Structure 1
Amino acid sequence: MVRPTAVIGLGRSGISAARLLHAQGHTVWLLEQRRTPRLHSKAAALRQEGLHVQLDCSPAHLEPLNPQAVVLSPGVCWTDPVLVQLRRRGVPVYGETELAWQTMTSAPWIGITGTNGKTTITTMLGHLLQQAGRDAPVCGNSGAAATELALECHRGRRPDWVVAELSSFQIEASPTMAPRIGIWSTLTPDHLDRHGSFADYAAIKAALVTRSAVPVLNGDDPRIWRRRACWPTARWITCRDGAALQPHRHAALSVEGGMVTAPSGPLFSADVLSLPGQHNRVNMLLATAAALEAGLDPGQIAAGLRSFPGVPHRLETVACHQGVTYINDSKATNYDASRTALEALEAPLVLLAGGRVKQGDVHVWLEGVAAKAAAVICYGEAGDAFTTQVQQACPHVVCQRLPGLREAVPRSHALALDRGATTVLLSPACASFDQYPDFEARGEHFRALVQAMAMAQ
C-alpha cells in the first residue's frame, strides 16, 4: 500500500500544498484541527478534487496514517512533540514553503525576512522587478502562497525571479531553502511565545541569510550589525554616510548628500520614494541593493521607486476629513512597528492602539507615544493595560479607553479637532486576534468606519 503524504492545515497554504502534491502524483491527506460549517464545505469541495480531508484532527492523528512525509502550514508549531518524534524516526517533516522551494529549483529566489519591514521590501522589490519587465511573482508571507506559485511552475511557468517574504515560522520549517539573495531588514523580539527565546528567534532569521548566496543586510540595525562577522561578503546598507560602517565593512549602498550612493558613486536621488519615514529609506536601500544584484540598472530602479504606491495597511492614507488625515497602519502588530510609524509622522496626532498584546519592550513604544501623541484611544484586550501604561508614562497625553474601533473612530475625530491634531493613526502595537481574524480585516474595518463617518458629516 502506498503511504500517503500528510498536509496539516486547511488554510490557503495547506490547500495549495495539497494540490501541488496531488499534481505531482502523491496520495494526499489534509488534516485540520478545527471543525466548522465553512470548513465542512471546503473539505467537501477538496474531496471532489481527489484529496482526502479529515477535520477535527491534531498532529497526534498522524500515527495511524503512517505518512511518508508531513507538510506543515506556517501556523503549525514546528516543535509539536508528535512532529519532533516523527523527525527523529526519519520521517521528512517540513513546511509548505520548503515544498515550494524543492519544486521551483529552476528559478532564483530572493528571500526577505525581518521582524518589521519585510512586507514593504518584498512588495517594493517585486514592483521594481516587474516594472523592469521581469517575471518576478511575490509569494510566501505576502502575495500568493509559495506552493500556489510552485503549482504554476509545475504546469510550465518559468519566472525570472521568485520574491518570497519569509516569516520565522516559514524559515524554521524550510531547512534546505537557500535563496540566491537573502535580505534581513530588522531584528527585535517577536513571536517569543512560539520560539521560546529571543536567541532562538534570531538564530532562525540568521539561518536564512547564512544559506543565501548574497546576503543583503541593514547596517543601521544594531542587533544585525552585531552579527557582522558571520557574513564577511554581505552587502550592507546604511542611511548614514557610508563611512559609518568602516572599518568593519564597506557599504554597498548609503545615503550621502541626499543621493543613494554606491562605492562607484551616486545612483539617484533618495527622494524618488514618496513614502514617509526613515525606515522606508532603509527599506528602499535594501530593495535597491537586491535589485542591483538581480541585474537592474539605477535608472530602472529609480523609475520603479517613483511609481511604487506603498503597501496596504502600512502607513496607508485612507481619507482626509475636515482637515484630519486618517492613516491605516494595522500591520503594526508589535511595539517596534508602531513606534516606527510614530517616528515617521509629524506631531501632534491621535493614536488608536489595542488588540491582543505580544511580548516585547513596551517602553520603546511609550517613548514614541510621549513624543508624538496628543491623545491615545486604547481598545480591545489590551485596552486596560495600555490605558494604565500610557497614563503613567505620558501624563501629558489624553488617554481614553473604548471597546473597539467602532467607538474609537468617531471619538478620535473629535479629539483631533479638540487637540489640534492633523492626523489620526491606527497603529495598534498588538495582534488583531481578539476582535479580528487578521490585521487585514482590522485595517479594512478601520477604512470602512472612517469613510462612513466622512460621508455622514
Structure 2
Amino acid sequence: MRIADLADKRVAIWGFGREGQAAIKALRKRLPQLPLTLFCSEGEVASAQAFDAALSVHGHEPDAIALAAFDVVVKSPGVSAYKPALLAAREAGLQVTSGTALWFAENPSADVVAITGTKGKSTTTALLAHLARSLGIRTALAGNIGMPLLELDGQSAELWVIELSSFQTGEAGPLALGIVTSLYEEHLDWHGSRERYVADKLKLADAAQRLLVNGLQTTLLDKTSNHPQRLLFGQPQGWHVRDGFICRAEVNVFAATRLPVPGEHNALNACAALTALEVMGFDAIKAAPALASFHPLPHRLQPLGERDGLCWINDSIGTTPQATLAALMSLQGQAVTMILGGHDRGVDWSDVAAAIRRHPPHAMVVQGANSVRLTAALQAEPLNCIFEQVADLSAAVAKAREITPVGGYVLLSPGAPSFDQFHDFTERGRRFAEMAGFDGQAISGIEGLGIG
C-alpha cells in the first residue's frame, strides 16, 4: 500500500509518538485534503491538537467498534498487532499499515540493509552506517534506532541502513540484505508468546534477498537454515573475533581493544557490519580502521566518565538477562558493582544467574519491581560477592557509591524493562547519568541519524 492509495479512504493514525507524527506529516504532504483521525493517550490530546489543528483527536485506545469506522489504520510500532480489537477489525475488513510499510512501498528500488536482533541491532546498524560513510558512500541511518523512515520521505541515498524492531520486521518490503544479530526472549507482552516473538523477528528473512546471521548462535542457525542465500558472520572463514582481534579469515585486521564500545559481543557486532559492507560490494578491509572513530550509542554500554573516583557505565537498554551478562563479561578484571532489576516481565534468570555465579562482580545491587524474584534467582546458590537489595534506582546508585572501591566501575545493566519507574530505557539512562553527576541530556543524542 502506497500513500496515494489512501486517497478517499477513511484513515486513522494510532499512536502519537515520533512514528505517529512522522506519518501525519507524510500524509499531509502527499494528501493535504485527506481527513485524519488520531487515537492517542489522554495526556497527548493537547499536544496533538497543537501539532495539527485539522486532526480529529481521540484520547483513548480504540475498540473494534471504533476501528470499524475506518478503512485503514496507520499504527505505531508500540501498538501490538495482536490486540484483540485490531484483530477483530481486520477480520471485518480493516486494512492495517505503518510508517515503515508505507516507506518501503514508496521506495521499492532503494538499496536497503535492514538489521534486527534481540540485542546488538542498534550498535550494528550505527557501525554499518559509520563504516559506509568512511568510504564516502551517501548513507541513510534510520528506523527503530531513532528516526522514523517517513521523516526521510522523498530523500535519496546510495545505501539505506535501517534498524527494525520485532514490531516492524513484518512490515519490511523487499530488501537487498537482512541481518539478524541475536535471538533471545523479549517483548513477550507485545507478541504474546516466545514462539510468536521468534516468528515475528524472523519475518525479516521473508523480505531479504540475502540473510546474514550470527554464526555463533545455534538456535538462530537452526531457525534460518532454509533461507536460500544465508550468510554467516562470526565464523573462522569470514569476519570473526579471535585472540583479541577482529579478523577476516586468517588475517588480524583490527585490535578489539581499539573499538570504542567494549566487549567481545560488540566486536562481533563490528564483524556483522563489516560482513554486510562486503556483501553489498564495498571494501570492508579499507573501512575497518574507521571502527576506531565510532561513537558509542547512548544507553548501550555507554561510558559516562568518572565521578567521585568511580567510573560510571550506562547500559540502560540492557533489558534482558543475556544483555546483562554480556555487559558484565565486557568488564572482566575490573571491580564492578552491577545495578540490576526493573519491570517484572516474568523472564527466566536461572541460566544467566548460574553464569554470573561463575564470574561474579565485586558487588550486585538489585532494585525495582522484580527485585524479590531476581534476588531469589541470583541467590539460589551461594554468590561470592557483595549483594544488596534496595527499593529503586535512586537507592541503588547511593548504595553503589558506598560499596564500590575507588577506581571501580558502577554498571547499570538492569536486565529488565524500565516501566516500573520510568517511561522508557532512555529516561532511565538519563536519570542514572544525573544521579551519577552527569548531564542527562548531553549523553542522550545519537550521532549520524538521517542521510550523510
Q: Which band: TM-score by shorter chain?
A: 0.7 to 0.9
Deviation per CA, 1:375-427: give whole Å up to 9, x if none.
2111121222223333333443322222222222232122112xx87211111
Residue of structure 2 equivalent to 1:119: 122
What's the counterpart of residue 148 of structure 2? 145
- 1:14-53 equivalences under 5 Å are 14-25=20-31, 27-36=34-43, 39-48=44-53, 50-53=54-57
Conservation of the 8 A alpha-carbon contact between 1:376 and 1:399:
yes
State the distance in 1 between where 2:138 and 2:200 align: 29
Shift of 1:257: 6.7
Of the candidates 326, 337, 362, which is equivalent to residue 350 of structure 1?
Answer: 337
The one-letter amino acid paired with 1:448 is E
Aligned-partner residue type, residue 60 of structure 1? A
Instruction: Render the CA deviation track for 1:46-101: whole Å, top value 9, x for unaligned.
Output: 333x4332222414353463x23211101111122332233334432123211221
Give the distance between the partners of 1:288 and 1:193, measured in 2 at CA.
34
Instruction: Give the direction of change, closer, same or farther, for the CA distance of 1:394–1:331 in structure 2 (3 Å limit).
Output: farther
Letter of the aligned partner of 1:2 in structure 2?
D
Q: For the residues of structure 2 that align with 1:257 and 1:349, how far apart are their CA atoms?
A: 24
In structure 1, the partner of 2:368 is 380
Q: Is the 8 A contact 1:18 1:28 kept in 2?
A: no
Deviation at 1:273, TM superposition (A): 2.4
Question: What value does the CA root-mean-square deviation take over the aligned residues?
Answer: 2.4
> Which whole-Å CA distance do the structure 1 matches of 2:318 and 2:245 have between them?
29
Matches within 5 A, 1:194-209: 194-209=190-205
Q: Is the 8 A contact 2:181 2:269 kept in 1?
A: yes
| Matching residue of 1:246 | none
Percent identity for Structure 1 against Structure 2: 29
Residue 410 (structure 1) aligns with: 398
What is the one-letter code of the residue matched to 1:160? E
Cα distance in 2 for partners of 1:57, 1:29 equals 16
Offset from partner CA, 1:247-285 (integer Å, 9 cap, x none): xxxx4433457654446x637224352422111121011
Q: Give the conservation status (yes or no) of the 8 Å contact 2:114–2:175.
A: yes
Task: Say which is worse superposed, 55-64 or 134-143, in terms of deviation.
Answer: 55-64
Note if contact 1:179-1:211 (Cα within 8 Å) is conserved in structure 2.
yes
Partners of 1:334 and 1:307 lie apart in 2 by 28
Q: Are residue 7 (structure 1) and residue 13 (structure 2) matched?
A: yes
**Residue of structure 1 in register with 2:351 after alignment:** 364
C-alpha distance in 2, partners of 1:445/1:255?
A: 34
| Conserved 8 A contact 1:357-1:429 | no
Q: Which residue of 1 aligns with 2:189?
A: 193
Q: 1:19 to 1:394 in 2, by over 3 A?
A: farther
CA distance in 2, matches of 1:90, 1:222: 40
Structure 1's unaligned 5+ residue stretches are 243-250
Alignment CA distance shift 1:366-1:178 (3 Å): same
Which stretches of structure 1, 4 residues or longer, exceed 6 Å deviation after superposition? none
Aligned AA (2:373)? A
Given that 1:366 and 1:394 are in contact with CA atoms closer than 8 Å, whether structure 2 keeps it comes out as no
**Alignment TM-score, normalising by the size of structure 2:** 0.88
- AA aligned opposite 1:230: N
Higher helix share: 1
CA distance in 2, matches of 1:171, 1:228: 15
Match of 1:268 in 2: 253
The one-letter code sitting in structure 1 at the alignment partner of 2:400 is S
| 2:90 match | 87
2:103 aligned residue (97, 100, 105): 100
| TM-score of the aligned structures, taking structure 1 as reference length | 0.87
1:320 pairs with one of 306, 319, 322: 306
CA shift for structure 1 position 332: 0.3
Q: Distance in 1 between matches of 2:366 and 2:245?
A: 40
Amino acid at match of 1:268: V
Read off the aligned partner of 2:142 and give its amino acid letter.
C
Instruction: Choose from 291, 301, 310 the match for 1:305.
Output: 291
Q: Deviations over 1:145-192 (max 9, x none)?
A: 122122xx2xxx2112221111111123x1x52221100010111122
Greater RCO, 1 or 2 (C-alpha within 8 Å, sep 6+): 2
8 A Cα contact 1:115 1:186, kept in partner: yes
Report the secondary structure of 1:202's partner residue: helix
- Aligned in 2, Cα 1:396/1:270: closer, same or farther, shift over 3 Å? closer
Per-residue Cα deviation, 1:5-29 (whole angstroms, up to 9, x for no partner) = 2111111111111221222216242
- Return 11-20 or 192-201, whichever deviates more: 192-201
Distance in 2 (alpha carbons) for counterparts of 1:145 and 1:432? 22
Count of residues in Structure 1 that have an aligned counterpart in Structure 2: 429
State how far apart, in whole Å, the 2-side matches of 1:51 and 1:41 are.
11
Residue 203 of structure 2 is aligned to residue 216 of structure 1: no
**Which piece of structure 1 moves more, 335-344 or 85-94?**
85-94
| Amino acid in structure 1 at the alignment position of 2:41 | R
Structure 2 letter corresponding to 1:17: A
Q: Secondary structure at the match of 1:127?
A: helix
In the alignment, what sits opposite 1:162?
Answer: 160
Amino acid aligned to 2:363: A
CA distance in 2, matches of 1:40, 1:237: 46
SS in 1 for 2:421: coil
Residues 402 and 259 (structure 1), Cα distance of their counterparts in 2 relative to 1, 3 Å cut:
closer
Partner-residue secondary structure (3-state), 1:76: coil
1:8 alignment partner AA: W
User: Is contact 1:31-1:58 (8 Å) kept?
Assistant: no
